[in-house]
Structure 1
């Protein structure tokens, strides 16, 4: 290694043989998030186009789509060798994007097409990110994950930082269809990076000689199309992760609905809405990147996963109490930005560390079930709960108080799950010595 490479490896807490693989993981998430965040402002504007009062229906439609898609994905995972599984998933979604390019060129102003795209991209986002993190939990072992996942997650933040900028800069020149085509190309680049990572796994990752034995990636993941559900129901640990995700989505949905309502009132023009959402996304990704590069890894090493999973929910709880006292767009936007920065920089890397020591069926099928069905089910339930709270007519303060309660429970559960993960990593480290 050159002196520069050695300094870079030390800076990201990587060992010499891990550097290229970590950079490949960083680049893979950059491609995925740059593509998605180019499309996210379009999704938000299309959700408003169908009527803010109908957002809970879109959330419910997304949940139904998840219920249909997850067994199909699990069936594919049981038939295709793990080393090729992501190629099938990303290839399918890339073809979908090309179809939307054609449809938007034919009928740009269709409200129903906007609704279909909103539901589709909500499914797309969770699937491509979930299987990418399954890949990382498969490639790196538990100790490597604790050291390296924060930097790998920084690739998502850089991509999320570039995506909104590209969306704002290129929407006029390329249009919505052009941004979709560019996102499809980035998905293809992610597939190429995945191939390198799976090859590296056998040399120096979780499949290296001397590592804890694991199932061969050249065989399909065992189980049936519903084994993700049965795995979760049969494990208190996985049930705890599912409950953690449900609380996360409840907090996020309450904030999201309030944001959509206020943006629709203050920015009636669709192009202005895209720019507002783009600016918020830019601030979120900039803050998340700073935390991932300079804070997250040090917190994980010194204070443990329990702090990664509990500190942000505690801050969100305080933010909801502030929103109950001062229910303005400025306070809401600040809380939304803090919540999303915390999720990307602390909660998501910490959550993925929980899966690294588990078997392939848990990493792929149970994890995918939690990341998709549980996540979007939480969205749908909390969406209707938010609509019910609005019907009571007590304004934003009641929603904020319920959100504060959910965030407090979220923080407590995060501490419990993180403590279990910390004990397991400590036991593995002691076993090596």
Structure 2
């Protein structure tokens, strides 16, 4: 990886920002997953639908706020808001232990939180780094997030028996605050285009949706993300069903989820440090995009023959490693070809409404297709396989659109 001297400090600050951001989230994630198991698969289906509705409400609200504030203020304001939310949930869960309302609200909040904070992070990166710089440096920046995703589960496993899971929320709040400060530093080190940081982040509430449905490149990104989450949520719901059947203890379940996240983080970090940039530069973005639906196709076939917990856990680890190390960096590189305002409004719409729309759609289909038996019934696999085929077609066309736009921009 070639790094210019003028890029070094901003690159390290970007790495640190993503490290602390995902450390904060991966402390929250096992707690959220355990709440999902505790509430049960029937409630979980409803919660995914609620998450989608919340997204539909929040995205226009985000557009309203971002259209009235300069871009340099949007990320710090939203990150500060989420820090205060974490403190509020800590107080609520301490004063109302065992409350299903508080637990369900936290599950919905955590499912919204991770998308907004990560989407805003990558919007900042695509604003401040050029397309050529992104191809060189996004692998290293992504490795910062993966290192954070490694540190989060390690902290969780180390502290979950000394502290209650609720107390971990305060540690997450501190890490998120540090991430916000690192983001302010990155912008100071790389102010971007002259005057860009004082521009408004978006022009209108529904501009992102209009751009998605009128621009082929954005439409293929949206379809890629949607299908990824439909298929991925099949695996997630199957895992929740099997965990509830095989692991009765709450603390053991939190440790299981943290251990799974730890395995993902170690494998992803190694690929990002030594393979992501090489794959993107040598084989191109299309190969990186195709790797994810191909992994999901193999996992779907495997689960259709043996729907056991260790199998679905292995499939989820493999799918998330490929997503984090190859597919996600490829999509983020594509966003660098967008106009400055599109990097916020389009990316935010896709990373929130489209992303959670995939989750909600998957939960509806999973329930209708006999989710109580999961992949063991054969019906889920029969639904997933055609979706994976469509996903492969979308990935190929997205790679072609990227090549065309990159050539035009060059």
TM range (shorter): over 0.9
Find the aligned partners of 1:146 and 1:234 in 2 and give their Cα distance. 26
Q: Could you tell me which residue of structure 1 aligns to residue 395 of structure 2?
A: 414
Q: What's the CA shift for 1:320?
A: 1.1
Q: What's the CA shift for 1:242?
A: 0.9
Q: Could you tell me which residue of structure 2 aligns to residue 123 of structure 1?
A: 112
Q: Could you tell me which residue of structure 2 aligns to residue 288 of structure 1?
A: 268
Q: What's the CA shift for 1:225?
A: 1.9
Secondary structure of the structure 2 residue equivalent to 1:322: helix
* Contact 2:37-2:243 within 8 A present in 1 as well: no
Tell me, yes or no, if structure 1 residue 63 matches structure 2 residue 52. Answer: yes
Find the aligned partners of 2:155 and 2:289 in 1 and give their Cα distance. 31
* Contact 1:323-1:397 within 8 A present in 2 as well: no
Tell me, yes or no, if structure 1 residue 403 matches structure 2 residue 384. Answer: yes
Q: Could you tell me which residue of structure 2 aligns to residue 330 of structure 1?
A: 310
Q: Could you tell me which residue of structure 2 aligns to residue 357 of structure 1?
A: 337
Find the aligned partners of 2:6 and 2:389 in 1 and give their Cα distance. 41
Tell me, yes or no, if structure 1 residue 302 matches structure 2 residue 288. Answer: no
Deviations 1:44-90 (A, max 9, x none): 11112212222110100111111111111111111110011101110
* Contact 1:49-1:111 within 8 A present in 2 as well: no
Unaligned runs of 5+ residues in structure 1 are 1-11, 209-214
Deviations 1:81-138 (A, max 9, x none): 0011101110111111111111111012111111000000100010000000000000
Q: How many residues align?
A: 409
Unaligned runs of 5+ residues in structure 2 are none
* Contact 2:216-2:401 within 8 A present in 1 as well: no
* Contact 2:19-2:146 within 8 A present in 1 as well: yes
User: What TM-score results when the alignment is normalised by the length of structure 2?
Assistant: 0.96
Q: Where do 1:217-256 residues align within 5 Å?
A: 217-256=197-236
* Contact 1:320-1:401 within 8 A present in 2 as well: no
Q: What's the CA shift for 1:391?
A: 6.2
Deviations 1:349-368 (A, max 9, x none): 11111111211221101110
Tell me, yes or no, if structure 1 residue 314 matches structure 2 residue 294. Answer: yes
Find the aligned partners of 2:275 and 2:122 in 1 and give their Cα distance. 21
Tell me, yes or no, if structure 1 residue 39 matches structure 2 residue 59. Answer: no
Q: Could you tell me which residue of structure 1 aligns to residue 370 of structure 2?
A: 390
Q: What's the CA shift for 1:283?
A: 0.4
Deviations 1:11-65 (A, max 9, x none): x332222122111111111111101101111001111221222211010011111
Q: Could you tell me which residue of structure 1 aligns to residue 193 of structure 2?
A: 207
Secondary structure of the structure 2 residue equivalent to 1:360: coil
* Contact 1:71-1:226 within 8 A present in 2 as well: yes
Q: Say which is worse superposed, 228-237 or 95-104, in terms of deviation.
A: 228-237
Q: Could you tell me which residue of structure 1 aligns to residue 144 of structure 2?
A: 155
* Contact 2:290-2:396 within 8 A present in 1 as well: yes
Tell me, yes or no, if structure 1 residue 136 matches structure 2 residue 116. Answer: no
Secondary structure of the structure 2 residue equivalent to 1:79: coil
* Contact 2:63-2:202 within 8 A present in 1 as well: no
Find the aligned partners of 1:221 and 1:109 in 2 and give their Cα distance. 40
Find the aligned partners of 2:355 and 2:336 in 1 and give their Cα distance. 20
Find the aligned partners of 2:140 and 2:392 in 1 and give their Cα distance. 23
Find the aligned partners of 1:401 and 1:281 in 2 and give their Cα distance. 28
Find the aligned partners of 2:377 and 2:320 in 1 and give their Cα distance. 20
User: What TM-score results when the alignment is normalised by the length of structure 1?
Assistant: 0.91
Q: What's the CA shift for 1:239?
A: 1.4
Q: Say which is worse superposed, 289-298 or 217-226, in terms of deviation.
A: 217-226
Match of 1:373 among 353, 365, 371: 353
